Amino acid sequence: MGKIKASEAVIKLFENWGIDHIYGIPGDSIDTMVEALRKKESKIKFYQVRHEEVASLAAAAYAKLTGKIGVCLAIGGPGAIHLLNGMYDAKMDHVPMLVLVGHIPSRLTGTDYFQEVNTVDLFKDVAVYNKELTSAESFPTVVNQAIRTAYQERGVAVLSIPDDIPVGEISDHAAQLSTVFEKKVPGLVENDLSDAVALINAAKNPVILAGVGSKGAKKELMAFSERISAPVAVTLPGKGALPDEHPNFLGNIGKIGTKPAYEAMKSADLLIMVGTDYPYAAYLPEGAKCVQIDIDPVRIGKRYSVTVGIVGDAADALAYLTDHITPVTDRPFLKICQDRMAKWQSWMDEDKDNKKTPIAPQAVMSAIQSIAEDNAIFSVDVGTATVWSTRYLHVTNQDFLVSAWLGTMGCGLPGALAAKQAFPDRQAIAICGDGAFSMVMQDFVTAVKYNWPIIVVVLNNKQLSFIKYEQQSAGQLNYGIDLQDIDYAKFAEACGGKGFHVEKHEELQGAFEAAKASDVPVILDIAVDKDAAPLPGKIVMDEAKGYTKFATKSVVENHKLEKMPPMKDIMRHFI
């Protein structure tokens, strides 16, 4: 029985788990692990980023896309703190992540040493597994348990590693720890299924709300919807669970959603929630019965009063229900929903066909759609980019990647990096506002460095546009939202990529075709209409009052009437 360094045993363990890459930045307290990675670079690739936040956001995005654990590392102290944003994104979107954080040598812990941070306390809220290593001998065992816990709990496992631990020599047998793992999924309870069947058979106006948990049950969801002739709305992370082109599809729910989805919810007598923990109760039916399917029993009834809860895998539950319910071939409620959706879609098509300059962001979505491949990955940032992408992009077989629950600006670029690393042969398109992109723009050069030909679409309106309309809808005057412009096309060229600056609608399609044909990363810097309003799918009375208050306050305090969206658009979203 030989001896190896603990760091080398851990890297071998990573290989056994199928971990083939890690995102991060090297530095003193983590360099021993980086050295072990260097020796195994043919097996495990280390991707150097320019900011630790990008490392953790990319790791979270990788986990969302693949279901495999995302891994990142950083030094202790400032590097560890920078990781927090992506760690919370993984926590709140329930994906497995392993984080390796360097720490000062064990003998110096508690001495207020340079960069000493109590990382165990720092990560207490974000992690499902959170340990500081105490010995070289336990290092592989603790890593093994961390990975298992991250997978089972669908969360973040963090290891704080004192600098002296990885260099310790241990038995080479430690690298042979078992990596056999099978995630435990609750079995279905037949009585619950039977009760759900009875509720579904009795419903006149059932509506299905599909979340991210239904993405692994796309065929079953479609079959179930068709069997009972029920409309389907989706949550933001659930976009793609049912193709946008499906006749039963009503689009997204909520402020960024569609008016038909809102109206269907308010008319429903049965809500069927599949794999979602949707938080905005105001957009759900009032007083309807409810069937909820979720793999986590804690979420049953967490947001909405549930009549029947089904704990288990969505695909299995939907398959059972489809086999046992009475088929419905003619449901008047569905026909009403479809008619409303057809009208809504005609309005959306009008918006996308807008050929005016300044360029309508809706027209940009049309241009994206025209070059998007059937298996493209859309990595969508937070802000008005979310509204335009969710509402105007039609997803069929593509992946739609977002920071759903944390809603962190700056997620678009790291998601595209992870997408291209995970699936080199698939098209990766990041859709970002200028405010969000500028938070992480330094890592566009990471795509250049590793030859990841991503396309970054920057909707440049020189402002924090989503915040602009949040302020207005609350009756507040706009303040602190204007941005100093950056020439993102020149920035792309400076990084070694390609950049296109687009100001006129007639330049739009040519720029997108050139971006698609490029073999290097591209930034499309598109000057979009700063007055394009991301109106809610359905403007509710409180929002209407807020806009009225904003307009009145603007006249009184600024002595001018702010430019408002066309009355035609306002009425379409309000009445």
Active site residues: 52, 114-115, 382, 466
Closest CA to 71 of 95, 94, 92, 42: 95
Cis check for the bond before 358: say yes or no (omega within 30 of 0).
yes
Residue 69, classified by CB atoms within 10 Å of its CB into exposed (0-12), middle (13-18) or buried (19+), is buried
- The tokens 């195994």 sit on which residue? 40
Tokens found for residue 69: 């654990």
Dihedral, CA of residue 262, residue 265, residue 266 and residue 271, to nearest 10: -160
Contact 122, 81 (CB under 8 A): yes
At 431, list the tokens: 């859709």
Q: How far apart are CA 299 and CA 124, in angstroms?
A: 22
SS3 of the chain: helix, strand, coil, percent, to 5: 45, 15, 35
Q: Please tell me the distance from the alpha carbon of residue 341 to that of residue 470, in angstroms, as a whole number.
A: 26
Segment holding 210, helix H or strand E: strand 206-210
Residue length of the chain: 575
Helix (H, G, I), strand (E, B) or coil at 243: coil
Tokens of 329: 């071939």
Q: How far apart are CA 2 and CA 170, in angstroms?
A: 8
Q: Is residue 301 exposed (0-12), middle (13-18) or buried (19+ Cβ within 10 Å)?
A: middle
Number of separate helices (H) and strands (E) present in the chain: 22, 20
Helix, coil or strand: residue 327: coil
d(CA 73, CA 58): 12
Q: What's the rounded Cα separation, in Å, for the pair 384 and 286?
A: 29
Helix (H) or strand (E) holding 3: strand 3-5
- The CA distance from 263 to 424, in Å, is 41
Distances from the Cα of 156 to the Cα of 7, 125, 135, 234, angstroms = 21, 10, 22, 26
Q: Give bridge partners of residue 468 from the DSSP assignment.
A: none
| 3-class secondary structure, 254 | coil
**What's the sign of the alpha-carbon dihedral 424, 377, 74, 146?**
negative
For β-strands 308-311 and 270-274, DSSP reports them as unpaired
